Amino acid sequence: MVPLLVPGGWFGSLILILGVFMIVASFYILYKLVQGFEAFADGWRKS
């Protein structure tokens, strides 16, 4: 049995990169959602 999550292995670094990417993507989506909601609220208040 070869351990998949070996430190410094290609699989370990792949998981790490994927995890970081997922965190950044979710923060970016949250930021965009907040921006869109603020723009929508501004437009709703003006009308």
Give me the residue spans of the domains in the chain. 9-42
Give yes or no for a contact between 6 and 12, defined as CB atoms under 8 angstroms apart. Answer: yes
pTM of the complete model beyond 0.75: no
* Residue 9 DSSP code: S
- Quick: pLDDT tens for 14-40: 888 899 999 999 999 999 999 999 999
Largest CA distance in the chain: 66
- Quick: pLDDT tens for 2-17: 555 556 677 778 888 8
- Spatial CA neighbour of 41 closest among 33, 31, 10, 22: 33
